[in-house]
Chains A and B, each alone.
Chain A
Amino acid sequence: MHHHKYRLIVPFLLPAILLYGLFVVWPYAQAIYVSLTSWRGVSSNRPFVGLDNYQRLWQDTRFHEALGRNGQLLVVLPLVTVAIALTFAALFTQGSQRVRGAGFYRVVYFFPQIIPAVIVGILWSYIYTPNIGLLNGVLRAAGLEGLTRSWLTDPATVLWAIVAVAIWSSVGFYMVIFLASMQSIPASFYEAAILDGATRWTSFKDITFPLIWETLRTSIIYLAIAALDFFILVVVVSGGSTTMGARRAEVAAVYLYNQAFDSSRWGYASAIGVVLLILTLLLSVVIMRVTRRETYEF
């Protein structure tokens, strides 16, 4: 019996495993090897240097600063994105407690998600431009001249200006995921709760939240991984990997790119990549453990 099962499963899985091995596992393995060399990336000469690159990383303050920014993102990005997405999702469902025009909002809030990240980045780089940008323009029109600034080069604002773009563009996606999850909750639960005198908040807290916990948890892991990467928006919004904005909002992945493509230190860049890989794996495991709780069947 078992033989038959494997005869069926193996041919189905094999192509996927081969492709995954060729395009994911093999490059990872190569990157791990490259991280042990001082490869400059312009010849096949890859001198082996052992763990030198990792030793350097350990003392590299610029790398530590970059990782520190990833750390801040790790807290802010999932928290704020999930909070906003959850609020919208809850307002647009929960049986008869949903707000009017919910269908319209659902579509509109999803719009940013269908725009490619690069276009989102370029769009916002114009919004943030100091002299002709929309944001400073609105602030000036509102008489808030004092708040205007060069959002993308001011060290105090650049990272958060880019984080705001990330949140703006991803809230819609998570909202839809939460909506899907919430809509699978039978409306009768909410009707019963209303009869018992539940407010919108108590319905949310005691019915919605526990029943979508699994989805929430997956979303947090996704967002945490996004916070550890966060490459595209930093580079695109700030206008390139060697701009002042990119430097002042430099996260580990941008530093990696900078070391490889701008400074021809591919060995060192690969070591950064390997450290990021390890951190991402660790983080996923930790979040899975910490957020494990009873799931409800309904």
Chain B
Amino acid sequence: MNPDLIDRLVADEASGRYSRRQILQRAAALSLTAPALAALFAGAVPLRALAQNADNPLGVDPNAPLDVVIFKGGFGDDYAKYVNEKMYNKLYPDAKITYAGIQRLGEQLQPRFVAGTPPDVIDNSGAGNLDNAALVAEGQLADLADLLAAPSYDTEGKTVGETLVPGSQESGIFNGTQYLLNWALTAFGVWYSSSWMTSKGYEYPKTWDEMMALCEEIKGSGVAPWVTTGVHPQYARQFLFDQMVWKHDPDAIRNIENLEPDAWKASAVTDVLEAIYQLAEKGYLLQGWEGLDHIQSQNEWLQGKAVFIPVGTWLENEMKDSIPADFDMVLAPTPSLPGDKLPFEAIFAGGGEPFIVPSHGKNVPGGKEWLRLLFSKEAGKVFAESTKSLSTVSGSGEGLDLGSAFASAQADIAAAGANTYITRYQDWYTEFADEVKAQLASLLQMQISIEEFQNTVQQAADDLKADDSIPKYTR
């Protein structure tokens, strides 16, 4: 008799996922002997102890093959290979891991989902990834509650869930169930070169009025104060506009996300639009910004043609080959508006790089176990060192000296404390978010007025709300 099979059956029974009759059916299918069955139900105490063994809390079959697919983008995939070879295969040397580090996951994995043969664990990130909301709506993702409740791999006495940065997993919850686990801890805000600012005797302005005054001065010296990508205006939309609305009035952004009536016409929204419209009106944006993609805009910024740029914490790794020496890039929260309900330190931060375990994979416990190993201090350190980015495992970046960007992001997140947030409507309603970004780009090119922006976007929100073919989410 195979003790692992019994382990699994006991785990199933203990979790209450299956009725006793189903367990018996499964046991019969696995041709367990009568004594084994007797042990299962009568004298199950020692077996139960075995199943809840801290080394295998999720009941993994050590021999079952595992299929891992990782988005190999800005973060590379060294950390994932580390988990495969140095962690999973160390615990389960007989498990054969099929691994792929790829881009545009949607095109490659979609047929596998339709055919019912998805991989066991996926880093579903990057451009052209699978639509998480659609996967959830189709019941294709496994509930990760048991993983969060399992003991952490290398933090004694804590569950996996307890080791994660508070708030970092909120975007993985769809209507109350955790389907996604975010691996990277990302902060979004305004970047600048601290060495350049210091050399000019400037300090990062904490209020929008000071920002405008500084912009006027910078513009006078022949440098553009701001640049952002006009090809992908979602950068300005989320990292600048959404963030400023949230800091001005957290209820205003929540109303927007919950598709409340007239949410886009709230005075908090108008205030923010009037503030950022000045960037366009007063010519504070780098000429030609509207035609730059994200890489081009970041290059212009690195070349010193503009001072401020709204991006996320992947910026340094993404541009690592073109950063001038002593550039010392740092991240700051958006400047405050008069009457902001949240302090200046409040910043858009939270989990990104979501991982999923397909519900119809062949080795669901194995997929979850792989994630349990990933969400450890050990893997977090490997990730931080190879990408200069933080993972969502608390304390995984402690004691690492990885430069100004890493340090400033860590400091910003610490200073913000509980005041962190990330808008999610772009994940729920892709098409609507595209409309918002398109209208915002038109506004920043002064092709439409603030009022036209608000009317058009409100109309789109109302249409979306009335469209019952699109599942709705609230927060």
Contacts and interface: CB of A to CB of B under 8 A. Distances in A.
Interface string B79-116: 00000000000000000000000000011001001111
Contact of A41 (B133, B134, B292, B441): B134
A41 B127 CA distance: 17
A295 interface: no
Given A129-B296, A243-B231, A244-B230, A42 B291 contact: no
A242 interface: yes
Nearest to B115: A44
A155 B447 contact: yes
Interface in A125-159: 128-131, 136, 150-155
Given A40-B138, A42-B134, A240-B127, 4 more contacts: A43-B114, A131-B296, A248-B438, A264-B131
Contacts of A244: 230-233, 290, 437-438, 441
B73 interface: no
Contacts of A136: 288
A150 B130 contact: no
A40 B300 contact: no
B430 interface: yes
Contact of B293 (A154, A239, A258): A239
Nearest to A41: B110
A45 B137 CA distance: 11
Interface residues of A, number: 35
Contact of B140 (A43, A153, A155): A43
A42 B128 contact: no
B127 A153 contact: no
Interface string A36-53: 001011111100000010
Contact of A42 (B140, B230, B296, B447): B140
A42 B138 contact: yes
Contacts, number: 98
Contacts of A243: 231-232, 293
B195 interface: no
B287 A131 contact: yes
Contacts of B230: 150, 153, 244
Which 4 pairs between the two chains have the least Cβ-Cβ distance? A150-B291, A130-B288, A130-B291, A264-B134
Given A155-B447, A243-B231, A42 B292 contact: no
Best-surrounded residue of A150, A151, A243 (most CB of chain B within 10 A): A150
Contacts of B441: 153, 244
Contacts of B140: 42-43
A261 B110 CA distance: 10
B30 interface: no
A152 B291 CA distance: 6
6 contacts: A41-B110, A42-B138, A128-B291, A247-B434, A261-B107, A261-B128
Interface string B210-240: 0000000000000000000011110000000
B291 A45 contact: no
A55 to B, nearest CB: 11
Nearest to A129: B291
A263 interface: yes
A153 B231 contact: yes
Contacts of B130: 42
B431 interface: yes
Best-surrounded residue of B131, B441, B442 (most CB of chain A within 10 A): B131
Interface of A: 38, 40-45, 52, 128-131, 136, 150-155, 238-240, 242-245, 247-248, 258-259, 261-265
Nearest to A155: B447
Contacts of B134: 40-42, 264
B291 A153 contact: yes
Contacts of B231: 152-153, 238-239, 243-245
B114 A242 contact: no
B135 interface: yes
Contacts of B403: none
B203 to A, nearest CB: 29
A151 B291 contact: yes
A265 to B, nearest CB: 8
B293 A130 contact: no
B2 interface: no
A153 B441 CA distance: 9
Nearest to B442: A155
Interface in B399-436: 430-431, 434
Contact of A43 (B127, B138, B286, B437): B138
B300 A42 contact: no
Contact of A40 (B128, B137, B293, B431): B137
A44 B116 contact: yes
Contacts of B106: 261
A145 B139 CA distance: 56
B290 A150 contact: yes
Contacts of A131: 286-288, 291-292, 296, 300
Contacts of B447: 155
A43 B231 CA distance: 32
Nearest to B293: A239
A265 B131 CA distance: 10
A139 B344 CA distance: 44
A153 B138 contact: no
A61 to B, nearest CB: 10
Nearest to B230: A153
B139 A263 contact: no
B295 to A, nearest CB: 10
Contact of A130 (B127, B290, B469): B290
Contacts of A258: 431
A263 B430 contact: yes
B288 A242 contact: no
